[in-house]
């Protein structure tokens, strides 16, 4: 089966959040199962520098007003790539989602290039049977297929985060090469605008999102205005959990750790804590329970609930380390909390991959109090690294963490802590529960072992995607 993934991020070259991690792992997991998956991305400078190119496979004159574009072949280790080389749009600093003045046109260009490969194939005759787009930047891809001429490959859209939808003024219809008859609620129209994600969800043959619980939530109250459409397309929508790339996230061989460990040698985890504490400016030592958060600082991530609990954590003798960047006010508030509690609360404002690995290897508890969480990756990494996740019961967090309770402690299934209400008090109660368990080292170790033993490999999710592809009737193209 020939499948072209289309996306805007790829770890380690271009990563803003979990999408980058998934694009690095899922296509490779599908290839390991025998599917011929390739990935189309913009030719970002960081990507071009890292992978090199192997020549042009298509030429697209003046694409979306960004000048001539080429599609280049390239190769990341174990993953064939196509890169949309259009310097005016992609060869500049600012990150994938910067430069709002041409955000719509440049991701429309990416979607157009995908549809072109789907129709015409590359210069060597490779033509995908399925185009699989990820998140709003690729949302117009099914529209270009549906409203275009020629062979129609099957299309799949995956929602990694429905909060980001790509809405642009209706006046752009012509510039985006969309026909007038596409501007209907069954097409690309969304409350008088052009909705990129909406278009993809309307027009793709199959839809998926990244956890079963999120798949349900976005059809009722968590769909950011797309609930009705998703409920209508319920029969075509699957929730498939993300996995963990054990080549990147593996405490037995992680180059960022001072001491390697695994399920059989959990005691070797200990030296990673003082190393992390020293780097963060926390008092070194094993006595204080260490809570951490590794997150974009976005209102949906619920870090304001952690802010409400800073003094509570410190009063209970715990330490708190926060790695995050994003919302300006949240950054300031965490900096202020660290100044109030030197040595007990520390914050790193910024994005640091190595420090994130060290945090998972050092912390006792990873806080993930998200208001909404499609899947979430940090609670998975935490478990693999032996930090117990404390999560709000929503989306993928509900599906991947078994909360401590008398029952789950008795039957040995607990892997972390859960709370329900999105408020600081409820988080505080869950923190108290974590501290109670921490005071009982044998019980703690039992939960930690179970968490570290959990199977989050990508093979099962990759099989679920193959099953989803198999449900699409062939069009004979
Ligand atoms: P989202 O995609 O919504 O940001 P996920 O939990 O799915 O959330 O993925 C977040 C990814 O970004 C994880 O790989 C996490 O380790 C990483 N991450 C988040 N914040 C930071 C940070 N400040 N420094 C390093 N890595 C971070």
The one-digit pLDDT tens for each residue of the chain (477 residues) are 999 999 999 999 998 988 999 999 999 999 999 999 999 999 999 999 999 899 999 999 989 999 999 999 999 999 999 999 999 999 988 889 999 999 999 999 999 999 999 999 999 999 999 999 999 999 999 999 999 998 899 999 999 999 999 999 999 999 999 999 999 999 999 999 999 999 999 999 999 999 999 999 999 999 999 999 999 999 999 999 999 999 999 999 999 999 999 999 999 999 999 999 999 999 998 889 999 999 999 999 999 999 999 999 999 999 999 999 999 999 999 999 999 999 999 999 999 999 999 999 999 999 999 999 999 999 999 999 999 999 999 999 999 999 999 999 999 999 999 999 999 999 999 999 999 999 999 999 999 999 999 999 999 999 999 999 999 998 754
Could you tell me which of 265, 261, 244 has the C-alpha nearest to residue 252? 261
Mutate to test the pocket of ligand 1, among 7, 10, 21, 300 (most ligand atoms within 8 A of CB): 21
* Whether residues 119 and 6 fall in one domain: yes
Contact 37, 3 (CB under 8 A): yes
Residue nearest to atom 24 of ligand 1 (CA): 351
* Whether residues 22 and 151 fall in one domain: yes
Structural domain total, the chain: 2
What tokens were used for 15? 């990563």
The runs of H, that is alpha helices, within 4-66 are 18-32, 45-51
**Residue 61 within a domain:** yes
Q: Residue 110: its pLDDT value, please?
A: 98
* Whether residues 233 and 272 fall in one domain: no
Q: Is the shortest distance between the CB of 296 and ligand 1 below 6 Å? A: yes
**Residue 273 and residue 286: Cα distance in Å, rounded?**
7
Contact 308, 269 (CB under 8 A): no
Residue nearest to atom 18 of ligand 1 (CA): 295
**Residue 250 within a domain:** no
Q: Which atom of ligand 1 is nearest to the CA of 161?
A: 3
Beta strands in 105-250 (DSSP E): 130-134, 154-159, 167-169, 189-190, 193-195, 206-209, 237-239
Could you tell me which of 376, 446, 390, 399 has the C-alpha nearest to residue 418? 390
**Residue 36 within a domain:** yes
**Residue 254 within a domain:** no
Mutate to test the pocket of ligand 1, among 9, 10, 12, 17 (most ligand atoms within 8 A of CB): 17
**Residue 256 within a domain:** no
The residues that bridge with 134 in the sheet, in sequence order, are: 158
**Residue 255 within a domain:** no
Q: Is the shortest distance between the CB of 11 and ligand 1 below 6 Å? A: no
Burial class for 128, CB neighbours closer than 10 Å (0-12, 13-18, 19+): buried
* Whether residues 272 and 194 fall in one domain: no
Angular region, 55: left φ>0, alpha ψ -120 to 50, beta rest:
left
Q: Which atom of ligand 1 is nearest to the CA of 325?
A: 23
Q: Is the shortest distance between the CB of 135 and ligand 1 below 6 Å? A: no
330 CA to centre of ligand 1 in angstroms = 16
Q: Residue 320: its pLDDT value, please?
A: 98
What tokens were used for 386? 């032996």
What are the tens digits of pLDDT across the range 185-200? 999 999 999 999 999 9
What tokens were used for 91? 């060869």
* Whether residues 26 and 131 fall in one domain: yes
Q: Residue 186: its pLDDT value, please?
A: 96
64 CA to centre of ligand 1 in angstroms = 32
**Residue 41 and residue 71: Cα distance in Å, rounded?**
10
**Residue 258 within a domain:** no
Q: Residue 189: its pLDDT value, please?
A: 98
Contact 329, 250 (CB under 8 A): no
Q: Residue 32: its pLDDT value, please?
A: 98
Q: Is the shortest distance between the CB of 356 and ligand 1 below 6 Å? A: yes
Alpha carbon of 124 to those of 72, 120, 121, 226: distances in Å? 12, 11, 8, 40
Q: Which atom of ligand 1 is nearest to the CA of 373?
A: 3
The pair phi, psi for residue 158, each rounded to 5°, is -110, 130
Could you tell me the residue range of the domain that residue 417 belongs to?
A: 266-453
* Whether residues 238 and 273 fall in one domain: no
264 CA to centre of ligand 1 in angstroms = 28
* Whether residues 125 and 274 fall in one domain: no
Mutate to test the pocket of ligand 1, among 162, 377, 401 (most ligand atoms within 8 A of CB): 377
What tokens were used for 310? 């800073």
Q: Is the shortest distance between the CB of 243 and ligand 1 below 6 Å? A: no
pTM recorded for the entire structure: 0.94
* Whether residues 213 and 282 fall in one domain: no
Q: Which residues of 462-472 are buried (b: 16+ CB within 10 A; e: fewer)?
A: beebeebbeeb
Q: Sheet containing 388-392: give its strands across.
A: 345-349, 319-326, 290-297, 365-368, 388-392, 417-419
Burial class for 50, CB neighbours closer than 10 Å (0-12, 13-18, 19+): middle
What tokens were used for 342? 């030197």
Q: Is the shortest distance between the CB of 164 and ligand 1 below 6 Å? A: no
316 CA to centre of ligand 1 in angstroms = 28
* Whether residues 200 and 280 fall in one domain: no
Question: Tell me, what CATH number does 393's domain have?
Answer: 3.40.50.2000
Residue nearest to atom 19 of ligand 1 (CA): 295
Q: Residue 476: its pLDDT value, please?
A: 55
* Whether residues 213 and 277 fall in one domain: no
The residues that bridge with 463 in the sheet, in sequence order, are: none
**Residue 223 within a domain:** yes
Contact 347, 369 (CB under 8 A): no
Going by C-beta distance under 8 Å and a sequence separation of 6 or more, which residues neighbour residue 428?
308, 309, 312
What tokens were used for 260? 């390697």
**Residue 383 and residue 418: Cα distance in Å, rounded?**
14
Other C-beta atoms within 10 Å of 274: how many? 16
**DSSP characters for 115-138?**
HHHHHH--TTS---SEEEEESGGG
* Whether residues 317 and 411 fall in one domain: yes
* Whether residues 159 and 87 fall in one domain: yes
Cα dihedral: 324, 27, 134, 204 (round 10)? -160
């Amino acid at each position: 089966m020939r499948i072209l993934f289309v996306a805007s991020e790829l770890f380690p070259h271009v990563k803003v959040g979990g999408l980058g991690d998934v694009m690095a792992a899922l296509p490779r997991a599908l290839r390991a199962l025998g599917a011929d998956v390739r990935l189309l991305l913009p030719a970002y400078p960081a990507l071009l520098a890292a992978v090199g190119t192997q020549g042009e496979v298509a030429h697209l004159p003046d694409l979306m007003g960004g000048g001539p574009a080429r599609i280049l072949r390239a190769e990341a280790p174990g993953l064939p790539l196509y890169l949309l080389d259009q310097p005016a749009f992609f060869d500049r600093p600012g990150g994938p989602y910067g430069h709002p003045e041409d955000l719509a046109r440049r991701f429309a260009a990416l979607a157009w290039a995908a549809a072109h490969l789907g129709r015409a194939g590359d210069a060597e005759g490779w033509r995908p049977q399925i185009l699989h787009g990820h998140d709003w930047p690729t949302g117009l891809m099914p529209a270009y297929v549906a409203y275009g001429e020629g062979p129609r490959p099957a299309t799949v859209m995956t929602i990694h985060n429905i909060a980001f939808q790509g809405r642009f003024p209706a006046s752009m219809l012509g510039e985006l090469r969309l026909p007038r008859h596409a501007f209907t609620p069954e097409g690309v129209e969304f409350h008088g605008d052009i909705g990129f994600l909406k278009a993809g969800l309307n027009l793709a043959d199959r839809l998926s999102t990244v956890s079963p619980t999120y798949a349900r939530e976005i059809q009722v109250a968590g769909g950011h205005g797309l609930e009705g459409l998703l409920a209508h397309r319920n029969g075509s929508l699957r929730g498939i959990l993300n996995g963990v790339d054990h080549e990147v996230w593996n405490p037995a061989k992680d180059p960022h750790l001072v001491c390697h460990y695994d399920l059989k040698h959990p005691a070797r985890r200990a030296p990673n804590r003082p190393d992390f504490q020293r780097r963060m400016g926390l008092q070194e030592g094993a006595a204080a329970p260490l809570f951490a958060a590794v997150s974009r600082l976005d209102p949906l991530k619920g870090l304001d609930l952690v802010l409400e609990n800073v003094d509570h954590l410190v009063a209970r003798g715990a330490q708190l380390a926060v790695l995050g960047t994003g919302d300006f006010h949240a950054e300031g508030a965490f900096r202020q909390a660290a100044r109030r509690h030197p040595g007990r609360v520390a914050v790193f404002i910024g994005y640091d991959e190595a420090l994130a690995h060290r945090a998972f290897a050092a912390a006792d508890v990873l806080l993930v109090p998200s208001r909404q969480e499609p899947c979430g990756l940090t609670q998975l990494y935490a478990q693999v690294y032996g930090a117990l996740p404390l999560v709000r019961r929503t989306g993928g967090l509900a599906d991947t963490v078994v909360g401590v309770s008398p029952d789950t402690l008795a039957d040995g299934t607990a892997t972390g802590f859960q709370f329900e209400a999105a408020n600081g008090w409820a988080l505080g109660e869950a923190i108290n529960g974590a501290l109670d368990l921490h005071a009982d080292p044998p019980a703690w170790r039992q939960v930690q072992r179970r968490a570290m033993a959990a199977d989050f490999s990508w093979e099962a999710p990759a099989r679920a995607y193959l099953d989803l592809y198999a449900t699409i009737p062939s069009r004979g193209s």
